[in-house]
Amino acid sequence: MSLEFLVASGIGVVTASAIYLILRGRTWPVVLGLSLLGYAVNVFIFAMGRLWQDAAPILAQGAHVADPLPQALVLTAIVIGFATTGFVIELALRTRHDTGTDHVDGQEPGHAPPGRHPEGPA
């Protein structure tokens, strides 16, 4: 089994888990799914720079040198992803406070929307 196959399989499992969580009806699993999807994309970008073994991260005497661009892109994406996750968590908390529920559309399944009576308009 090759290293590329293991990394691709790991990216696939994390992406599938992220999509499953994003499709849930609650805000907290959606936030976790978006974070997982960001991690999967980061590993994918990092893997696009090739998976080198025994390669120097900077220029050296040897012929094998790791590409620093994917590392820089992933580092930037981690910082932006952390800030975005914090913002989305704040939005989820605010929505929970305003609507009284953590369902993504603001309504609990099987319950009437706020301000309406279950029997319809009077």
Query: What would the pLDDT profile of 36-68 be if each residue is shown by its tens digit?
Result: 999 999 999 888 877 666 666 666 666 666 677
Q: What is the CATH number of domain 3-52+66-99?
A: 1.10.287
If you write DSSP's letter for every residue of 3-72 in order, what string do you get?
HHHHHHHHHHHHHHHHHHHHTSSBHHHHHHHHHHHHHHHHHHHHHHT---SS-BSS--SSS-B--HHHHH
What's the whole-model pTM score? 0.72
Buried b (16+ CB within 10 A) or exposed e, 53-91: eeeeeeeeeeeeebeeebeeebeebeeebeeeeeeeeee
